[in-house]
C-alpha cells in the first residue's frame, strides 16, 4: 500500500513537470511536440521513484543486518546455545522481511499506483462530467460507440502498459547499479525501450484526431501492449528479472 500510494504521488509530480515543460510548446500544433513533454516527464518520474525506492530498500536492508549483528552479539555475550529449530525460525523471519522487498512485488505495486492515478486522470474526469449530464456523448473518431466505452478501453490498456513500464524501469535501474559494463548497458537499453514503448502508445492515440480513427488507435494500442508484454517475456525474460540475491530468497 505504501508503494502504491507513493507511486501515485510520483505520477502527479510528473504531471506537474510535464505541464511546466508543455507551456513553452503550447503554441505549436505538432502532436509529437505536444506529447513529448508528458512522455519525458513520466519516464523521469518513474526513474526518480525507483531511485528513491532503492535508497529506502538499502536502509531497510542495513537495518535488518544491524539487527542480525545485534542478536549475534547478544548470544555471544550471554554464551547461550540456540538449538537448530530456534535458529531456523529466526532465519525464516528474516527471509520474510526480505521477501517483501523484491522487484516483482514492488514493481507491480508501483505500476498499479502509477496506472491507477493515470486512469483517474484519463477516465475519472470524463466519467464525472458525463454523470451530471443527460444523453450519450459520441466523438467523430468513433461515432458508433459511446465516448465512455472508448475511453474505458484506452484507459484499461494504458493502465496495463503503465504496470509493464514500471517493471521495465525497476529492471533497468537495478541493472544500472551493477559494476559490470554489460549489465549497465542492459539497464540503459531497458530504460530506452521503456521510453520507446510509451512513445508508441501515446502516438497511437493520435489516430483519434481523424474521423473513425478509433478503428486505428485501439488496435495499435493493443499491439503496443502485446509488444511490451513480449519484451518482458522474451527480451528481459521472467527468470532473470530478479537480481540474484532476490532469486535465492
pLDDT at 99: 56
Distance CA 191, CA 242 (A): 16
pLDDT at 84: 47
172 CB neighbour count, 10 Å cutoff: 24
3-state secondary structure of 201: helix
The parent domain of residue 158 ranges over 2-248
For 35-64, write each residue's pLDDT tens digit.
888 999 999 999 999 999 999 988 887 887
Average pLDDT of every residue of the chain: 85
Provide the grid cell at 201: 502508445
pLDDT at 86: 53
The closest alpha carbon to 158, from 204, 214, 126, belongs to: 204
pLDDT at 198: 95
Residue with cell 521477501: 99
**Residues of the chain above pLDDT 70, percent:** 88
Residue with cell 505541464: 19
Put residue 136 in one of left, alpha, beta given phi > 0 → left and psi -120 to 50 → alpha. Answer: beta
Average of pLDDT values for 22-32?
77
pLDDT at 74: 73
CA distances (Å), 196 to each of 1, 228, 243, in order? 29, 10, 24
Q: What is the total count of domains within the chain?
A: 1
Query: What length does the chain have?
Result: 249
For 172-189, write each residue's pLDDT tens digit.
999 998 888 888 998 999
Q: What is the pTM of this model?
A: 0.85
pLDDT band, residue 91 (cuts 50/70/90): low
Amino acid at each position: 500500500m505504501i508503494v502504491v500510494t507513493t507511486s501515485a504521488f510520483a505520477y502527479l509530480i510528473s504531471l506537474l513537470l510535464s505541464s511546466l515543460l508543455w507551456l513553452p510548446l503550447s503554441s505549436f500544433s505538432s502532436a509529437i511536440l505536444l506529447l513529448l513533454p508528458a512522455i519525458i516527464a513520466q519516464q523521469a518520474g518513474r526513474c526518480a521513484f525507483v531511485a528513491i525506492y532503492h535508497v529506502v530498500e538499502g536502509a531497510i536492508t542495513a537495518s535488518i543486518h544491524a539487527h542480525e549483528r545485534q542478536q549475534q552479539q547478544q548470544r555471544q555475550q550471554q554464551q547461550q546455545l540456540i538449538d537448530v529449530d530456534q535458529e531456523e525460525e529466526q532465519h525464516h523471519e528474516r527471509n520474510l522481511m526480505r521477501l517483501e522487498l523484491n522487484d516483482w512485488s514492488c514493481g507491480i505495486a508501483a505500476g498499479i499506483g502509477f496506472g491507477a492515478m493515470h486512469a483517474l486522470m484519463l477516465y475519472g474526469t470524463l466519467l464525472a462530467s458525463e454523470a451530471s449530464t443527460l444523453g450519450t456523448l459520441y466523438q467523430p473518431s468513433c461515432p458508433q460507440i459511446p465516448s465512455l466505452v472508448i475511453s474505458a478501453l484506452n484507459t484499461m490498456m494504458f493502465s496495463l502498459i503503465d504496470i509493464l513500464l514500471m517493471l521495465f524501469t525497476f529492471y533497468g535501474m537495478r541493472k544500472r547499479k551493477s559494476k559490470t559494463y554489460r549489465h549497465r548497458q542492459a539497464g540503459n537499453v531497458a530504460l530506452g525501450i521503456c521510453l520507446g514503448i510509451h512513445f508508441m502508445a501515446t502516438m497511437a492515440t493520435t489516430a483519434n484526431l481523424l474521423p473513425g480513427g478509433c478503428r486505428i488507435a485501439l488496435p495499435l494500442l493493443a499491439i503496443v501492449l502485446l509488444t511490451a508484454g513480449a519484451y518482458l517475456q522474451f527480451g528481459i525474460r521472467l527468470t532473470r528479472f530478479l537480481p540474484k540475491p532476490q532469486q535465492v530468497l
